[in-house]
Structure 1
Amino acid sequence: MARIDQIAFYDEKLRTYGLNAEGVAWDSARTQRRRFGAIASCLGRLQGDTLVDAGCGLGDFYLYLQEQGNLPGRYIGIDLHPEMAAAARERTGCEILRRDILRQKLPLADWYVASGSMNLLTRTETGIFIRRCFEKSRKGFVFNLLEGRERSGEFGYWKPREVIELCRPLGATVSIKEGYLEGDFTVFLHS
């Protein structure tokens, strides 16, 4: 079970801030874009590839890739929250699935990405989320986490070395990207 009720958490954020970066619990659109840039730098050119955005929120990563002229051949968003999934579908015009990534069937894709999608999960759930997404990716899985010492509260925090250990059983090559934003790091898993 997640650290807190995810649907209620995002309902409150959306009511307070609307359909924007703050509404999906980021500090600002600027910091959201910094995170997207770190993820995109691991992917390279996406033409012809299939990309699954696990926890796509409002579809902002798709819009970021569109601005960068680096859209994948096929984009699939997945989100648990019904209002966000509907907004992502409308904003992107892409296939958006309303699914629980921890429990329901996931599509096979070249790439999986997740930006902020695991911040409300327990450590055990984070491990399951990472394993399930990596197993469904042909080329790799790129995601970010909040950096810091684990503590009680809404959000989960990790140290890069802890994530490397968590991912070791997957047999993946693990690369860590830091320094683009204080309190955040990006992980690139690939075979």
Structure 2
Amino acid sequence: MPRIDNKTFYSTAIEKYGITAKGVNWHSKESQKLRFDILLEMLPSDLSSYSIADAGCGFGDLYLYMLKKKRAPKKYIGIDSLVDMYSIASERTGCEILIADICTPKAFSPYGHDADALPPADFYTCSGAMNVLEEFETPLFVRNCFSACRVAFIFNVLHGEKKSETYNYLTTKQIEQMARDLGVKKIILRDDYMQDDITVAFFKESI
């Protein structure tokens, strides 16, 4: 089980802060944008021929930020486990949004199709959704996203050796071990943009 109840964690924030960065439990809009900027730096400069699946998409903010930066992908698929997020992200992005628990990847779409695995995409991204996973859930989440991507899985997560009853921190050593376990061909790490945060790219090819 998660260390906290995800539904309560996010629904309480939505009720208090509405459809804002704090509504998905970011400290501020600025910190959310900074994390998005680092994710975008690890993606190709021209995304017009690539598909992106956003694991734990929340309100669809990453896609809207891509549009603002003129970095829209050929196709965007949002994935979230909460119905509230599905409804809001669908309305805000106009894109396909799926309801799924990434750790047990059976995806459901109210548009009418189910799948026993996550949808394939060139890139999988995740910004913030791994911060409230249990330790045992983290490698499952990463493995399933990495398996579903064609090129790379790019994610951020809280970084360090802190122990928290609420939040999930990963050390560099743990991240590198996951990469070895998955047979990652190339790994990029960035931890120089914000305290206690790291952005990681797991590539399936070394180029």
Give the TM-score band, short-chain normalised.
over 0.9
- Distance in 1 (CA, whole Å) between partners of 2:138 and 2:171 is 13
Count of aligned pairs: 191
State the SS of the aligned residue for 1:119. helix
1:85 Cα shift? 1.3
The structure whose residues are more often strand, as a share, is 2
Amino acid of the residue matched to residue 85 of structure 1? Y
Which deviations, in whole Å up to 9, do the C-alpha atoms of 1:123-168 show, x marking residues without a partner?
Answer: 1101000000001100100000101214131101112222111221
Structure 1 residue ranges (4+ consecutive) displaced by more than 2 angstroms after TM superposition = none
**1:54 — aligned with what?**
55
Which deviations, in whole Å up to 9, do the C-alpha atoms of 1:8-60 show, x marking residues without a partner?
Answer: 11111111111110010100110000000111100112111110000000000
- Distance in 1 (CA, whole Å) between partners of 2:33 and 2:131 is 17
Determine if the alignment matches structure 1 residue 111 to structure 2 residue 123.
yes
Q: Which runs of 5+ in 1 are unaligned?
A: none
**1:95 — aligned with what?**
96
For residues 146-157 of structure 1, the aligned pairs below 5 Å read: 146-157=158-169
Determine if the alignment matches structure 1 residue 19 to structure 2 residue 19.
yes
**2:87 — aligned with what?**
86
Q: Which runs of 5+ in 2 are unaligned?
A: 107-116
State the SS of the aligned residue for 1:176. strand
- Greater shift, 114-123 or 143-152, is seen at 143-152
Percent identical residues:
40
Which deviations, in whole Å up to 9, do the C-alpha atoms of 1:60-84 show, x marking residues without a partner?
Answer: 0001110111111000000111111
Determine if the alignment matches structure 1 residue 30 to structure 2 residue 47.
no
**1:177 — aligned with what?**
190
Determine if the alignment matches structure 1 residue 141 to structure 2 residue 142.
no
- Distance in 2 (CA, whole Å) between partners of 1:150 and 1:26 is 19
- Distance in 1 (CA, whole Å) between partners of 2:7 and 2:147 is 26
Which deviations, in whole Å up to 9, do the C-alpha atoms of 1:94-148 show, x marking residues without a partner?
Answer: 0001111111220011000000011111111010000000011001000001012
- Distance in 1 (CA, whole Å) between partners of 2:194 and 2:86 is 27
> RMSD across aligned C-alpha pairs, in angstroms?
0.9
- Greater shift, 65-74 or 156-165, is seen at 156-165
On the 8 A contact 2:160/2:172 being kept in 1, the answer is: no
Amino acid of the residue matched to residue 126 of structure 1? T
- Distance in 2 (CA, whole Å) between partners of 1:81 and 1:126 is 18
Higher relative contact order (Cα pairs below 8 Å, separated by 6+ residues): 1
- Greater shift, 125-134 or 97-106, is seen at 97-106
Amino acid of the residue matched to residue 65 of structure 1? M
Determine if the alignment matches structure 1 residue 42 to structure 2 residue 42.
yes
